[in-house]
Amino acid sequence: MLFIVIEHFRAGQATTVYRRFRDSGRMAPDGVKYISSWVDLGFQRCFQVMEAESESMLKDWTDNWSDLVEFEIVPVRTSEEAAQAIAPQL
C-alpha cells in the first residue's frame, strides 16, 4: 500500500528534525519503504510517499519521530489504480 504522510514539524523543531535525520537516517523498520518527499518553503511540513503492507507497519517509524513531528497518514492509490477501480461505475 502507498501512504501520503504529512509530517507537521513541532514549532521550532525543523533544525532538530534535520539534525536527527543526518545523524540517524530515516529510522524506518524493515518493510517500510520511502518513495519520495517534498518540504514546504517554511519548513513546517514534509509530505512523504511511503510504501508498506499496512498502516500499522508505519507505527515504529512514526514513534521514532513523534517527539519532533505530528503525523497525518493518508492511504492512497495511484491515479491509474483509481481509474481502474472506478471504471465499472462509469
CB 50 within 8 A of CB 59: no
pLDDT at position 17 is 97
pLDDT at position 12 is 95
CB 66 within 8 A of CB 13: no
10-20 pLDDT tens trace: 999 999 999 99
Average pLDDT value for residue range 20-31: 96
Q: What is the DSSP letter of 54?
A: S
Q: What is the DSSP letter of 83?
A: H
27-81 pLDDT tens trace: 999 999 999 999 999 999 999 999 999 999 999 999 999 999 999 999 999 999 9
Q: Is the pTM of this model over 0.85?
A: yes
pLDDT at position 67 is 97
As a whole number of angstroms, the distance between CA 54 and CA 21 comes to: 24
Q: Which residues contact 54 (CB under 8 A, 6 or more apart)?
A: 1
Q: Which domains does the chain have, with CATH numbers?
A: 2-89 (3.30.70.1060)
CB 36 within 8 A of CB 48: yes
pLDDT at position 32 is 97
